[in-house]
Amino acid sequence: MIKEKSIAVVGATGAVGLEMIRVLEKRNFPVKSLKLLASARSAGKKLFFRGEEVGVEVLEKDAFRGVDIALFSAGGGISKEFAPGAADAGCVVVDNSSAFRMDPRVPLVVPEVNPGDARKHEGILANPNCTTAITLMGLNPLHRLFGVKRVIASSYQAVSGSGAMAIEELRKQVEAISAGGEAEVSVYPHQIAFNVIPQVDVFLEDGYTKEEMKMQNEGRRILHLPEFRASVTCVRVPVYRSHSVAVTAEFERPVDLAEARRAIEAAPGVRLEDDPGAKKYPMPLATAGEDDCRVGRMRLDCALENAISFWVCGDQLLKGAALNAVQIAELLNAEG
């Protein structure tokens, strides 16, 4: 039974937090009351929800009294500090950080892929990494048909994945270089404007980055495939918003491209945009601000047996973060 809920957004003034507020309004989530929480420096700011001003409050331990669902997007440290207490207070937490993604007690959920896992929560649920979520939106319909074994992928990740300061850094660098000046570097280790950086997150001993291992580690939990393997190269690109991923997926069973296309067309939250002859394929510019992910460039892989290569784009701030969190909240509300 769907009832109105008291909602809190933690990290309300950040890029993802602002999107969470917009998504709650856009999807007409049954909000009885909305509490916006952030750091002390953001306290007192006014944000709009359904045409009314809502003041931002300081995040404190007792902020979750009377709150039904809290959407967290303030970083892993904040989540670890405040989410358990919120859950103990009777609030269900949907966390967008990496703090709980690999905790076996915490469901890791993409609603179009594993909605049933949301029922198993003990007070905290986790959003997957943005690149994982967007990739699985294209991969899962094919997995259901053919049974995925492994993927090789390269991501082209927008600066929105690093937050509002990264978006501003790209804008300022483009302006400075276009005016004949020099780019100032702060958020990233190198200039991002007119460049690509083959590093997202920190490097591990095996040469992969933490970001690159998330698709395999999180994919195993979401798909319920403990043997799933993914070799990924994550690259930051000078795009403001919306990630793209080039995927080659190898399957257990023989693949049929026509069946694969039909599966993508029928899948919720995904649109097939695949007409190379007419120069129609997914692009980040077209998917920015769009709820659905788009899949295109579908073809039988010429190097591997039983494999399909495809290109998927999705808005990192939406399906990669805020939208997925609100969809989880919708699942919780529908389940009562």
pLDDT tens across 315-334, in order?
Answer: 999 999 999 999 999 999 98
The domains of the chain are located at 5-128+321-335, 132-316
Question: In this structure, which CATH number among 3.30.360.10, 3.40.50.10860, 3.40.50.2300, 3.40.190.10 belongs to the domain 132-316?
Answer: 3.30.360.10
| pLDDT on residue 126 | 98
Helix (H, G, I), strand (E, B) or coil at 95: strand
**Rounded Cα gap, residues 108 and 129, in angstroms:** 10
Quickly count: other Cβ atoms within 10 Å of residue 293's Cβ.
29
Tens-place pLDDT, residues 147-183: 999 999 999 999 999 988 999 999 999 999 999 999 9
Is pTM beyond 0.85? Reply is yes
**Rounded Cα gap, residues 324 and 121, in angstroms:** 16
Task: List, in sequence order, every residue forming a beta bridge with 115; answer none if it has no partner.
Answer: none
* Nearest-5° Cα angle at 40, 38 to 41: 95
> Would you say the C-alpha torsion 136, 137, 143, 146 has a positive or negative sign?
negative
Tokens 């969190």, located at residue: 325
Among all residues, which ones are annotated catalytic?
130, 243
| pLDDT on residue 3 | 85
| pLDDT on residue 1 | 56
The topology (CATH level 3) of 5-128+321-335 is Rossmann fold (3.40.50)
Q: Find out whether 147 and 254 touch, Cβ atoms under 8 Å.
A: no
Domains 5-128+321-335 and 132-316 share a fold: no
Residues (pLDDT < 70) of the chain are 1-2, 336
| pLDDT on residue 167 | 94
| pLDDT on residue 293 | 98
